[in-house]
Amino acid sequence: MTKRSLVTGGSGFIGSHLCERLLAQGHEVLCVDNFFTGRRANVEHLLDQKRFELLRHDITFPLYVEVDEIYNLACPASPIHYQFDPVQTTKTSVVGAINMLGLAKRLKIPVLQASTSEVYGDPTVHPQVEGYWGNVNPIGPRSCYDEGKRCAETLFFDYHRQHKMDIKVIRIFNTYGPRMHPNDGRVVSNFVVQALQGKDITIYGTGKQTRSFCFVDDLVEGMMKTMATKPGYTGPVNLGNPVEQTVGELANTVVRLVGSSSKVVYSDLPMDDPKQRKPDISKARAELNWEPRVPVEEGLKRTIAYFDDLLSRQSGQDTRGA
């Protein structure tokens, strides 16, 4: 029997890849997005498929559809975008979660929440395990996203306890790949675009802060494996790459892979920016039989190729730094 999957935030960077994979597995896909950060271009190649439907909708308003499972990805995920309208960011995480949980409750179907490593804040435990409660500033400029996602997790587990619902919660660590927004302010897209344009590469802080980068294909595989677990498996489960590197090391790798003349410059570190980020994925390995398989350099080459093509089409000329 063909499953009908609802993907909120489905025209975003991660959501569009998930829609693609679900279609490849024979699902019908209802992609819902308000296009605040998602882009129609990300799913345009899917529009001629009979099993794909695109609906413009903001999940802070109720949605009445008939589906078999819900992937709730809707929310701006980069600081530039989620701080642009912080009240709306919190509403998307909290009210959006209530609306999707209400829909799943009515239909008696599983619902997966795309949470984030940001629930750990600026962690005092390293690497981060799912049992760690986090170190989050509740009133800072990043709180709309961090606390919004933490509240969404609370709602998911309360609906599970109170209404016996089949919930799944994943915590996504830094993900990168084709279809990232070129102006989202994330470190990978920033560095790649700057290197391709031959501009200075801006590192915020000393560059000693660490991140762990997971290629989008690996993440989508982990999401689908989580959804496929039996009722009663709730998570939360970390999905990310346990290979840790400094931001400075990433900048040097990008410059080398692009073959750019870009120089590295330094700027002030934003408030509450985490100093370390590395997932412990023991649970994902044991419970989902999942771990990332795409090496960072291979993923970066594919990401660079995407941005090179995108920027070339935008400018009508070669974008590589001389």
In this prediction, residue 272 carries a pLDDT of 65
CA separation for the pair 308, 311 (Å, rounded):
5
Domain limits for position 94: 4-180+213-242+276-294
Whether the predicted pLDDT of 82 surpasses 80:
no
Which tens digits make up the pLDDT trace of 9-28?
999 999 999 999 999 999 99
CA separation for the pair 67, 83 (Å, rounded):
32
Which tens digits make up the pLDDT trace of 146-201?
999 999 999 999 999 999 999 999 999 999 999 998 888 889 999 999 999 999 99
In SS3 terms, 191-223 reads as: HHHHHHCCCCEEEECCCCCEEECEEHHHHHHHH
Q: CATH number for the domain including 64?
A: 3.40.50.720
**Band of pLDDT at residue 316, cut at 50, 70 and 90:** low
Contact, 112 vs 168, CB < 8 A?
yes
Which tens digits make up the pLDDT trace of 99-154?
999 999 999 999 999 999 999 999 999 999 999 999 999 999 999 999 999 999 99
Whether the predicted pLDDT of 320 surpasses 70:
no
Is 304 part of any domain? no
Is 187 part of any domain? no
CA separation for the pair 15, 17 (Å, rounded):
5
Which tens digits make up the pLDDT trace of 228-284?
999 999 999 999 999 999 999 999 999 999 999 899 899 887 776 778 889 999 999
Is 255 part of any domain? no
In this prediction, residue 269 carries a pLDDT of 74
State the total domains in the chain.
Answer: 1
Is 286 part of any domain? yes
In this prediction, residue 135 carries a pLDDT of 93
Residue 303 token pair: 């990401």
Is 270 part of any domain? no
Other C-beta atoms lying within 10 Å of the C-beta of residue 209 = 19
In this prediction, residue 321 carries a pLDDT of 44
In this prediction, residue 274 carries a pLDDT of 76
Is 119 part of any domain? yes
In this prediction, residue 322 carries a pLDDT of 36
CA separation for the pair 178, 189 (Å, rounded):
10
Helices and strands counted in the chain (H then E):
9, 13
Mean pLDDT of 66-86: 88
User: Sign (positive/negative) of CA torsion 239, 52, 37, 107?
Assistant: negative
Q: Where are the alpha helices (DSSP H) in 11-136?
A: 13-24, 79-82, 86-107
Active-site residue flag, 145? yes
In this prediction, residue 184 carries a pLDDT of 81
CA–chain centroid gap for 145, Å, is: 12
**Band of pLDDT at residue 288, cut at 50, 70 and 90:** very high
Is 312 part of any domain? no
Other C-beta atoms lying within 10 Å of the C-beta of residue 298 = 11
**Band of pLDDT at residue 317, cut at 50, 70 and 90:** low
Whether the predicted pLDDT of 45 surpasses 50:
yes
Contact, 202 vs 267, CB < 8 A?
yes
Please give the sequence-ordered ranges of beta strands (E in DSSP) within the chain, or none if there are none: 4-8, 28-33, 52-56, 69-72, 111-116, 167-172, 175-176, 201-204, 210-212, 214-215, 237-239, 244-246, 264-267
Contact, 277 vs 117, CB < 8 A?
yes
DSSP for 163-187 reads H---EEEEEE--EE-TT--TTS--H
Which tens digits make up the pLDDT trace of 58-71?
999 999 999 999 99
Is 78 part of any domain? yes
Cα torsion 283, 288, 293, 299 to 10°: value is -90
pTM: 0.93
Amino acid identity of 77?
A: A
In this prediction, residue 217 carries a pLDDT of 98
Whether the predicted pLDDT of 318 surpasses 80:
no
Q: Would you call 300 helix, strand, or coil by DSSP?
A: helix
**Band of pLDDT at residue 319, cut at 50, 70 and 90:** very low
CA–chain centroid gap for 253, Å, is: 22
| Annotated active-site residue in 82, 120, 145, 176 | 145
